[in-house]
Amino acid sequence: MTARIIVGTIAGAFGVHGEVRLKSFCADPQAIADYTPLYTEDGHAFAQIVITGQIKNGFSARIDGVVTKEDADALRNTPLYAAREVMPSLPDDEYYYADLIGLTVLNSGGEILGKVKNVMDHGAGDLLELNVPGQSETVLLPFTQAAVPTVDLAAKRIIADPPDGLFPDA
Q: How far apart are CA 104 and CA 158, in angstroms?
A: 6
Q: What local confidence, expressed as pLDDT, does residue 169 receive?
A: 63
Is 113 within 8 Å of 160 (Cβ atoms)?
yes
**Region 65-71 average pLDDT:** 93
Is 4 within 8 Å of 99 (Cβ atoms)?
no
Q: How far does Cα 132 stand from its chain's mean position?
A: 21
**Region 82-106 average pLDDT:** 87
From-to residues of CATH 2.30.30.240 in the chain: 97-160
The domain made up of 4-86 is a member of CATH 2.40.30.60:
yes
% of the chain with per-residue pLDDT over 90: 65
Nearest Cα residue to 48 out of 58, 34, 29, 67? 34
- pLDDT tops 60 at residue 2: no
Instruction: Tell me the three state secondary structure of residue 69.
Output: helix
What kind of fold does domain 97-160 have according to CATH?
Answer: SH3 type barrels. (2.30.30)
Q: How far apart are CA 152 and CA 100, in angstroms?
A: 10
Instruction: Name, in order, each residue with C-beta under 8 angstroms of 120's C-beta and a sequence gap of 6 or more.
Output: 126, 127, 129, 140
Is 115 within 8 Å of 130 (Cβ atoms)?
yes
pLDDT in tens, 120-156: 877 778 899 999 998 889 999 999 888 999 999 889 9
Q: How far apart are CA 168 and CA 116, in angstroms?
A: 18
DSSP assigned state of 73: H
From-to residues of CATH 2.40.30.60 in the chain: 4-86
pLDDT in tens, 29-52: 999 999 999 999 998 999 999 999
Q: What local confidence, expressed as pLDDT, does residue 1 receive?
A: 39
